[in-house]
Structure 1
Amino acid sequence: MAADDDLMDVPSRLEQALAAMTNVELARLYRLAQYSLIGGTTYVNPKELFNEAVHRTLDGRRNWPPGEPFGAYIWMVMRSIADADRKMEAQSNELRANDQPVQDDFYQESDRLAGYGSSELAVDRVLENAAVQRRVTEDLQTIEDHFKDDQNVMLVIMAIEDNIPPRELESDYGLSITQYESARKKLRRYVDRQFPGRRTV
């Protein structure tokens, strides 16, 4: 009976959790969903994956333990759904590949060796790229820490990172174009002060 009570209470718990989420928190969940799609799944966008996770929670296929934070729970569910979907897709691709005629050994070997000798594989290039990536990550963390309490700027940062157009921010998160431009100017001023000569936004 207790399990039935918990299941019956899920819709109201979900409603409360979703209503309490800020736009930034929702955008972060969509970003996590986007990361889950890396590697190929049948889900075409992060919102579809997020909605599927919510749907499976509502119909009881996924159990949301009482007391577990919604963000952590739904992220785990999205990862699990995407992983399972990716495995099924890989199995389907393998079956389709097995139905294809076998290529000549020469061409198979050529395909395996195609990447060797590429300048992108040079040790110094790899180290250089890693150093640049590390610096970018550190700089971004500094910016996000500074604006962590400014919801509009955080939305703009996420939009820049994920190539989300301003109109989509307006339709999905209620951030008007005026608010967007104001937040972007604030971000630019801070970046100019913190990282002179390095702004690209």
Structure 2
Amino acid sequence: MGKLDEYASPEEFSLALKSLNKEELAKLALYARYRTRGLEKKAGDVMGPESLMSEAVVRTLEGTRKWRKSVDVLMHLTQTMRSISSHWRRALKEGTGPAEAIMERVDFSVFEESEPTNGSPEDRLYILEDLRALKEIFVGQGDVLGVITMMGEGFSKEEICRTLKIQENDFEAVRKRISRGIIKLREQGKLNYE
């Protein structure tokens, strides 16, 4: 078996995921609840069991977490959830918190075309640099770029969903992808605005 054959493609992972039965999915859900105990109280739904399961699946589909074909898919997902939840706990302990908390603190008015009325010029520059870096992560992903742009222009979730013709759960999924982008920028030391 060559190196290219060792890891499953996103399509192979998707098929394996769809083949899981109710009992196996229930085991994953139970493990996710176990790994996120206490996290929801500190960080809300962003660190809940459903978010953890979704994060494990998304990371595997995006290729940031590779599934070795020789490992059972359930084992892969549980190990991925363990890794993610450990990172979340460490982030909370260090006081960095979830990426949504960063997004809530950002004054998106600085992204508008008109001159913002608050914040120093240096702050506006840092935020614009962060926005540019965040958009670079999502080049070619129009749904994400659309949400980032509209959030920056001060649109509400309802207005964004209506304008971009997306469902509320799709909006939330995009917000989570944006959050992972913020985490990635922070881990790379490319985030100016905290």
Instruction: Give the TM-score normalised by structure 2.
Output: 0.42
Superposition TM-score, scaled by structure 1 size: 0.41
